[in-house]
Amino acid sequence: MKTDWKKKLMSNTSRTGGILVVSAAMLMAVILVVMSLNIQRSVSIDNLENNRSFCETAIDELSRASDYMTSQSQQYSVDGDWSHMTGYWTEVDTTQGRDQAVQKLMHSGLTNQEMVHVLRAKAYSDELMTTEIWAMRMVAESQGVPEDQLPARVRAYTLNAQDEALSAADKKAKAQSILFGPTYGTGKRNIYSMVATFKSDLAARMKSEAGSALASAKVGNAVAQAAVALMMVLIVALIYLYARAMEDKNQRLSEALTAAEAASSAKSFFTSRMSHEIRTPLNGVMGYLSLAQTAKDEAQRNECLAKSQVAAGNLLGIINDVLDLSAIENRKMKLACEPFSIGRMVEDVGVIYENAAREKGVALTVAGGGLPADWVAGDRMRTVQILSNLLSNAVKFTPEGGTILLQAAQAPAEDGTAATTFTVADDGIGMNPDFLPRVFDAYEQQDAGIAQKYGGTGLGLSIVKSLAEMMGGGVSVESLPGVGSTFTVVLHYKPAPAPAAKAQDGEDAPADITGMAVLVAEDNPMNSEIARRVLEHSGVRVTCAANGREAVDRYLEAPAGAFEAVLMDIMMPELDGFGATRAIRDSGRPDARSLPILAMSANAFDSDVKAALESGMDGHIAKPFQVSELIAALARVRRRHGGEEV
């Protein structure tokens, strides 16, 4: 009986041991499988990132190759340098950046939709290439380049009879007009759009696949950890080390995902705040205009219209801040270097904000005189923009009964420049010390309550910092809550001699443009009507043209001297403002070279103003224009050209 019991016990123990051994083996197998799968997932995630980087590099190579071809063809059309022709065809026939980029992408496991974006970008580039070949043929013929020296595809291109009949100068001008024109620009934007869409689709797919791999990895870790708990101490220790390694990997992936989500959240927050900041004054514009329509008397109507103009000015300020920041980030902003008086500029800025400070019950003190080098050479407008942003904030954040100081001081610098220190100090609400390191970052405000109570885009101080650094200086701030803030800007200017006194030339005379004859070239019917009615209200005789071609025709149909000035939009169909200006200047009429032509365009970057002047225009008026500025500009034109009425 005992023997049977012992045998039974031994049998049960053996069976239990076998079960434990099998269980341990199964757990080990599970652990090994989980380890293998997680390693594969980790490699897969790394491969996803490498493939994304590879694909983005390849599509950027396609875009860069297209941009290089564009640059070479455009430069050849401008200066006729044969090296640009050589560079262009070296890229097409030898380097073959576009074709190699497409080949790389075709073997990168793209989806059908992603491949469609790649092929469309290549197709748009091929379409532009046809235009570039045509333009190179036109320029080559204008230079008299022998046929046997032309690249094969340029030599094989046959111009139509109309192009062939053009003079050499007209061929070159037409090639430039097409290569720098809106249709060609649309083709380039199509390429950029396909590249951006490709990257967006690729990033979305990679994020989805990486997210799935991350989720699977987390489940695998849980299974592995559960199995590790049942293993021997040694095995537990080994699996624990492995789990820690995998957790570190997963933590990095999780942090990357969190950072991506935070960036997306920041973008959404900025978009939401911009929507609020733009819609608020826009609501004021539309609301007061609606009230003006139903006003019972002229005084009430004028009050509503005046308030809508104030709201429109606020909206324009927000838009200008966003565009200025974009111009700075894209390196499109250029600085002027013209002589001006620092003392007079500081006084002018003080006058601008004197009324706003007085209405709020704030004392504004301005001290900018007596500088050793009062007259300097630099960018007066951007300096005013820096001080205006700082003063605007000071007035905004200083309560009634407070004080604001705008002061300028100067000391010679080692490099021979006049190191000028501008100080804007207030005793307003101040800022927390932990916010100061971020105060000059774009879109930053101390907290949501500040944004809600005082408004603003959070771009002003970022623009101040960027402009100060562009001008060879810098900006710093000291601030305490409830005590106030002091902003210090140091800018370097070149000393300049004060201009000699000159006789009064009538520049300050009243702006009288009664009877003036003006040609307005504007393709937008609403803008055309606004310009016409504003000018006619001032006694101007207005002739309107719906595009650049029509403007040239109106000019040529009228007798010489019939128009005293032309207001020329830039972006117009059939013939843009640049082309229309060149056509008028080259018409050979007696007044073709002397007729004042002013650009009136929403293209308001410094580079746009420069392009307008280089095309033969005499000035630039940015849209939306101020009526007083438009009338003053035309009055200056009349005074400078003798004031004769036709």
Residues 469 and 490: their CA atoms lie apart, in Å, by: 9
Mean pLDDT of 424-445: 81
User: What average pLDDT does this structure show over 273-285?
Assistant: 60
pLDDT band of residue 8 (cuts 50, 70, 90) is low
> Cα–Cα distance between 72 and 128 in angstroms, integer?
13
Paired residues of 487 in beta bridges:
424, 477
599-642 residue pLDDT tens: 988 766 667 788 888 889 998 888 787 888 889 889 988 888 76
In this prediction, residue 348 carries a pLDDT of: 87
Residue 273 clears pLDDT 70, i.e. is over it: no
- What are the pLDDT digits (tens) for 193-239? 999 999 999 899 988 888 887 887 778 777 777 877 877 764 665 56
Q: Percent of the chain beyond pLDDT 90?
A: 34
d(CA 406, CA 421): 11
Give the pLDDT confidence score for residue 550 in this predicted structure. Answer: 95
pLDDT at 480 > cutoff 80: yes
How many other C-beta atoms are found inside a 10 Å radius of the C-beta of residue 434?
A: 8
Question: Rounded CA gap, 521 and 622, in Å?
Answer: 15
User: 480 φ, ψ to 5°?
Assistant: -140, 140
> How much of the chain is in helix, strand and coil states, percent to nearest 5?
65, 10, 25
Confidence (pLDDT) at 643: 47
CA 561 to CA 7: how far, in whole Å?
127
Lowest mean pLDDT among 130-144, 269-283, 552-566: 269-283
Contact 159, 112 (CB under 8 A): no
pLDDT reported for residue 422 = 93
* pLDDT greater than 90 at residue 13: no
Residue 179 has pLDDT above 50, yes or no: yes
Q: Which residue has the higher pLDDT, 645 or 72?
A: 72
- For the stretch 330-387, pLDDT in tens is 555 667 788 999 889 899 888 878 878 888 899 999 988 778 888 999 888 889 889 9
For residue range 533-556, list pLDDT tens digits in order: 989 998 999 999 999 999 999 999
pTM here is 0.44
Q: What pLDDT score does 216 carry?
A: 79
Quick one: pLDDT at residue 505? Answer: 47
Sequence-ordered list of residues with C-beta below 8 angstroms from that of 421, at least 6 positions apart, any chain: 408, 409, 410, 411, 488, 489, 490
Rounded distance, CA 320 to CA 298, Å? Answer: 32
DSSP codes, 486-533: EEEEEEEEEE-PPPPP----STTS----TT-EEEEE-S-HHHHHHHHH
Residue 462 φ then ψ, to 5°? -65, -40
More reliable by pLDDT, 122 or 454: 122
- Reported as a pLDDT band with limits 50, 70 and 90, residue 446 is low
Q: How confident is the model at residue 644 (pLDDT cuts 50, 70, 90)?
A: very low
Mean pLDDT of the chain: 81
Confidence category of residue 263, pLDDT binned at 50, 70, 90: very low
